[in-house]
A = this chain, B = another copy of it.
Amino acid sequence: MEINPILQNVLAPPVLFFLIGAISVLFKSDLEIPAPLPKLFSLYLLLAIGFKGGIEIQKSGFTDQVLPTLSAAILMSLVIPLIGFLILRFKFDVFNSAAIAAAYGSISAVTFISAESFLESQKIAFDGFMVGALALMESPAIIVGLLLVKFAAPKNRPKSRKMHLSSILHESLLNGSVYLLLSSLIVGFLTASSNPSGIEKMEPFTGQLFYGAECFFLLDMGIVAAQRLPRLKNAGSFLIGFAILMPLFNAFIGVFVARFLSLGPGNALLFVVLCASASYLAVPAAMRMTVPEAKSSYYISTTLGLTFPFNIVLGIPIYMSLVNTIIPFSPL
């Protein structure tokens, strides 16, 4: 019963293309998706996720479940980095610990859409407002990470690197990918409420094209992840373990929170995936700007080289069975 959904997950085009990308690196094929093409797909996916999410939120309205779920999502993205920070401090300095912890507190939009695709293929319903949770979980983790640096960093940090609250907010809210996701959400919402014909005209671009673009992007992600993986060796086994166990741990907390919120199985999976996934877009960008002391190879190689592939290939079906096990009689 465990293996079947994993295999089914692996046999979906997005995951297959991800594996193709990874295998191409393994076999030293010279397959390459040159910059800035990956950026095109990354921007497109954020725009489309946001736009569709905004429409869904407008459509579904603010039901009873929306507010508690979104609040819980924000809470998780505040708590997870704190836990992660405490764990990481055993081995790393404040800078690296805060940066890595923030990445795991934040989310990965592509992992989220992979989970959505998984749910669709399993014909399990989920709600559009979960994209709101996605959008809301990006920034708080960055804020926590930067606050940790601000208050826990050694006092002799040079003056030029002192962080001000304004720059912390700037980095967490106006970071390119956070901004694009949030603002596309707003555009989707506004379009749905005032200009419904616009939705239809956007549908071929943001809707129909989405799955294929996701596949293409995952092909590149496979290449990138497989190139990143070997560099993890230098990071040591502690970090490698962290990159696998932390998502599982976060998923575990997440599933109990989801149970507490009495989410349906679809929403529950998405909630768990948001907790378990780690950011490789917004957080690294913010950290590289504001915490240059942290090694980018640490926080990006773990999230991109290990956590992301793990979630995409194995994690999602595992989390699904976790949801099915722990949340009883999940209502539709």
Contact = CB atoms under 8 A, between A and B. Distances in A.
A183 B20 contact: yes
Interface of chain A: mostly helix, strand, loop or mixed: helix
A183 to B, nearest CB: 4
A310 interface: no
A175 to B, nearest CB: 7
B205 A215 contact: yes
Contact of A40 (B37, B120, B211): B37
B121 A175 contact: no
Contact of A179 (B29, B174, B180, B208): B29
A179 B31 CA distance: 7
Contact of A47 (B187, B209, B211, B216): B216
A191 interface: yes
Given A37-B36, A47-B216, A205-B215, A175 B30 contact: yes
Given A40-B37, A47-B216, A198-B121, A176 B211 contact: no
A194 B191 CA distance: 37
Interface stretch (A5-13, A94-102, A106-114, A240-248): A5-13
Given A31-B176, A40-B37, A13 B215 contact: no
A198 B13 contact: yes
Interface string A20-61: 100110011111111111011001100100010000000000
Interface string A245-261: 00000000000000000
Count identical subunits in the complex.
3
Contact of A211 (B13, B117, B170, B202): B202
A328 interface: no
Given A204-B208, A204-B209, A212-B205, A33 B37 contact: no
Contact of A8 (B31, B195, B212): B195
Nearest to A23: B183
13 contacts: A11-B191, A11-B194, A13-B51, A24-B174, A29-B176, A30-B175, A31-B180, A32-B176, A34-B36, A35-B36, A120-B197, A204-B211, A205-B211
Interface of A: 8, 11-13, 16-17, 20, 23-24, 27-37, 39-40, 43-44, 47, 51, 117, 120-121, 170, 174-176, 179-180, 183-184, 186-187, 190-191, 194-195, 197-198, 201-202, 204-206, 208-209, 211-213, 215-216, 219, 285
Give 6 nearest A-B pairs by CB, closest first: A205-B212, A204-B208, A31-B176, A29-B174, A201-B211, A34-B36
